[in-house]
């Protein structure tokens, strides 16, 4: 009886370990980083520094959640940085022209979602490889932004709007709370909905998914629209944080988002991806960047470390999967 009980517990424990191995590995890496920076920098464990870290990770972290969905479906979206810029500029232009803040926000998210729909149509209906399709959107959207703004920053945004990113509730920054909300939404969609299950199925085997009657179109449209909409929110938060609608905002953010997702265990072959993993991936990168500045480590060395970490995380993950 006790032996059986023990073995059941052991099995449950083992399956928990197996299922969350990547996440546990990342928590371990993060813990090591925290201990290292905490011991070498006198300010790292101060509340203010930790809150700044959460703020600094939030916007990248939100984009990474969108990216995980696309990567899990065996796609890729490199237009996310442009969508971040688009959304920030649209929300700013709308507010400056007297549109009420909630409507301005909806407008920005709707236009972002439209980019996602465009990506989805290109990938599913026109059968364009996702990298090429979203490379096209990256360029089109960025230059559309430059066109409508005349490459000029949009300033004089309402104080209520710009204060949001600076303020906090009970000491926790709103930026981080927003990120937490999207983590919950992402987890819910991935784990509890048919769409989420279909996304994993489609990502691991497209043909099997098609044959088993999954509505593939809605999966492809869905992941790209979700990703772009989430980036739209990130763009609005970034505009709030910068206090301006900045035409070149978000440039290059796709690389950080892909890195966070992949460090977090997402496979570019599709079928695998974890929201929590992406969150941890984004946290690790932000921690390294902040720690690097706190300790005054040479920027180039720091980026080499971050690049190496991405490679090591992926290699470790591959080795582990092979062993299983």
Partner 1 sequence: MKKKVLSVFLAAAMAVSLGACGGTTTPAPASSGGSGASSAGKDTYNVTVIIKATDSSYWQTLLLGAKAAAEESNGKIKVTTDGPASETDIDKQVTILENAIAAKPDGIVLASISSTSTVPAVEQANAAGIPVVTVDNKLETDAYTQHIATDHAIAAATAAADMVDQWKAKGIDPAGKKVALISADSGSAVNQARCKGFTDEIKRLVPSIVVLETQYCDNDIQKALDAADNLVLANQDLIGIFGDNNHMGDGIAKAMEQSKKGDKIVTYAFDSDDTEIDAIQNGNLTGIVVQDPFGMGYNGVLAAVSKLEGKDLEKDKVSETTLVTKKNIQEDAVQKLLYPGK
Residue closer to partner 1, measured from CB, 116 or 247 = 247
Residue with smaller CB distance to partner 1, 299 or 308:
299
Residues 165-194 binding partner 1 (CB under 8 A) are 166
Give dist(CA 198, CA 213) in Å, integer.
10
What are residue 245's DSSP bridge partners? 154
Interaction between residue 52 and partner 1 (CB under 8 A) = yes
Contact predicate 71/190, CB 8 Å: no
Q: How far is CA 190 from CA 119, 161, 211, 285, in A?
A: 20, 31, 21, 23
Least CB distance from residue 56 to partner 1, whole Å?
A: 5
Element (H, E) at 168: strand 168-169
Tell whether residue 102 is a contact of partner 1 (CB under 8 A). Answer: no
Q: Does 140 bind partner 1 (CB under 8 A)?
A: no
User: Can you give the length of the chain in residues?
Assistant: 324
Q: What is the DSSP letter of 41?
A: -
- Asked if 59 interacts with partner 1 (CB under 8 A), we say yes
Number of residues this chain uses to bind partner 1 (CB under 8 A) = 34
CA count, 13 A, side-chain hemisphere, 307: 6
Nearer to partner 1, 48 or 207 (CB): 48
Taking the complex as a whole, how short is the minimal distance between the CB of residue 43 and partner 1, in angstroms? 5
SS3 content of the chain, % helix, strand, coil (to 5): 80, 0, 20
Torsion of CA 288, 292, 295, 300, to 10 degrees: 150
Pick the piece of the chain touching partner 1 (CB under 8 A) from 8-16, 106-114, 150-158, 267-275.
150-158
* 64 contacts partner 1 (rule: CB under 8 A): no
- Count H helices and E strands in the chain, helices first: 14, 2
Q: Least distance (Å) from partner 1 to the CB of residue 224?
A: 24
Residue 142 in contact with partner 1, rule: CB under 8 A: no
Distance, CA of 200 to CA of 216 (rounded, Å): 12
Which x/- pattern over 230-249 shows residues binding partner 1 (rule: CB under 8 A)?
Answer: --------x--xxxx-x-xx
Q: Pick the binder of partner 1 from 4, 126, 252, 324 (CB under 8 A).
A: 252
Among 70, 271, 290, 309, binds partner 1 (CB under 8 A): 290
Dihedral pair phi/psi, residue 148, rounded to 5°: -75, -25
Q: Which of 153, 204, 205, 218 binds partner 1 (CB under 8 A)?
A: 153
User: What is the closest distance, in whole angstroms, from the C-beta atom of residue 41 to partner 1 in the complex?
Assistant: 6
Q: Report the alpha-carbon distance of residue 68 to residue 72 in Å, rounded.
A: 6
Binding stretches for partner 1 (CB under 8 A): 41, 43, 46, 48-49, 52, 56, 59, 146, 151-153, 155, 166, 238, 241-244, 246, 248-249, 251-252, 289-290, 293-300
């Amino acid at each position: 009886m006790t032996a059986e009980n023990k073995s059941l517990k052991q099995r449950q424990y083992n399956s928990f370990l197996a299922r969350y191995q990547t996440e546990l590995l990342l928590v371990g890496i993060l813990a090591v980083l925290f201990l290292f920076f905490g011991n070498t920098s006198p300010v790292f464990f101060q509340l203010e520094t930790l809150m700044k870290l959460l703020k600094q990770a939030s916007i990248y972290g939100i984009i990474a959640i969108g990216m995980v969905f696309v990567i899990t479906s065996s796609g890729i979206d490199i237009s996310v940085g442009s969508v971040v810029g688009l959304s920030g500029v649209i929300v700013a232009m709308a507010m400056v022209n007297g549109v009420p803040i909630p409507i301005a926000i909806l407008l920005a998210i709707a236009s972002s979602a439209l980019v996602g729909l465009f990506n989805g149509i290109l990938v599913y209906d026109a059968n364009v490889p996702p990298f090429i399709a979203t490379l096209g959107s990256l360029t089109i959207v960025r230059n559309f932004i430059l066109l409508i703004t005349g490459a000029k920053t949009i300033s004089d945004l309402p104080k209520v709007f710009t204060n949001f990113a600076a303020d906090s509730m009970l000491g926790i920054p709103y930026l981080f709370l927003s990120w937490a909300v999207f983590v919950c939404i992402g987890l819910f969609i991935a784990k509890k909905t048919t769409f989420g299950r279909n996304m994993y199925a489609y990502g691991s085997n497209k043909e099997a998914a098609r044959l088993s009657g999954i509505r593939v179109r809605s999966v492809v449209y869905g992941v790209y629209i979700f990703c772009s909409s989430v980036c739209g929110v990130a763009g609005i938060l970034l505009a709030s944080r910068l206090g301006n609608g900045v035409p070149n905002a978000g440039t290059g953010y796709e690389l950080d988002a892909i890195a966070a997702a992949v460090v977090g265990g997402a496979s570019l072959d599709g079928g695998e991806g974890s929201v929590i993993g992406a969150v941890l991936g984004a946290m690790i990168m932000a921690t390294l960047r902040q720690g690097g500045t706190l300790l005054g480590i040479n920027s180039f060395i720091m980026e080499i470390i971050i690049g190496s970490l991405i490679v090591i995380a992926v290699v470790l993950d591959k080795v582990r999967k092979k062993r299983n």
